[in-house]
Amino acid sequence: MKKAKIAIIGPGNIGTDLMIKIIRNASNLEMAAMVGIDPNSDGLARAKRMGFVTTADGLSGLEQMDIWGDIDIIFDATSAKAHHQNWSIVQKYPDKKIIDLTPAAIGPFLVPPVNFNTTKDMQNVNMVTCGGQATIPIVAAVNRITKVHYGEIIASIASKSAGPGTRVNIDEFTETTARAIEDVGGAEKGKALIILNPADPPIVMRDTIFTLSENGDQIAIKESINEMVAEVQKYVPGYTLHQEVQFEEIPEDKAVFIEGLGHRYGLKTTVLLQVVGAGHYLPAYAGNLDIMTSAAMATGDKLAQLSNL
């Protein structure tokens, strides 16, 4: 089967990790080009040493090169501002798709095991956030058994794994993740928090998910969560439950007030996860970055497979 040729914009840590993942693990993708704006970039130099086409003139520079016509999928690992410019180029070529790892969210949110089938035909898809990729599958797993009124996630990551971009975009992280908990996870109301833990040695990514739903079959909910964890593990092997799923029934006379919804009662479900990175380029504790690049690669792999069917 013919593999889809891909280009990565952004030769930083995320772009470089994505490149190595695609080289090692992708079934239907072929690394072709790395795009940056700094001619002295280590990531561009690495890609060039590995035999790939490189340019320091941004995506417009790649557009002028012969290989542009062969590129099928573009991964954008730059910034929200840069993605708007990159999208203005890509949208002129309907045969090319772009997978957005920035907070720009021009295209619909995509979480591979949850809503790939409803977004696969879009030219531009957004990978939400690291916290979203880790936790939204769990909210969706509960919601497919019983209606989720409220979903709250707390993502705790090693401070060392949060670069300048993450720190500048903390507010955007929480807003984007909360919206995706609703749009993709199915919750009526979503909330997201992020904690940068300065512990040394660095901790691995830990996520806590709380849902308040209508009362439902607890065994069925637990089975649904375990099935979803297994789906995510197909592309993020280090994604695991840290403890058994916990349940608490909230009676009507002790209903909790949720801003925007009013008082709600039912079943509270608590899920604790940890995400250990594969260590391809980034350290194993950077599971927050690993799950983003892994989800993006899984999305590209599926899109390429479909194009060959």
The sign one gets for the Cα dihedral 278, 160, 103, 18 is negative
Separation between Cα atoms, residue 223 and residue 97, nearest integer Å: 35
Cite the beta strand spans of the chain per DSSP E: 4-9, 29-35, 53-55, 71-76, 97-100, 124-126, 148-158, 189-197, 205-213, 239-241, 246-250, 256-258, 262-264, 266-275
C-alpha dihedral, 262 to 177 to 270 to 140, nearest 10°: 90
Separation between Cα atoms, residue 207 and residue 138, nearest integer Å: 11
Instruction: Write out the H or E segment, with its range, that includes residue 303.
Output: helix 287-307
Q: Give phi and psi for 122, each to the nearest 5.
A: -80, 145
Q: Which of 101, 130, 194, 236 is catalytic?
A: 130
299 near 116, Cβ under 8 Å? Answer: yes
Give yes or no: 244 in active site: no
Please list the active-site residues.
130
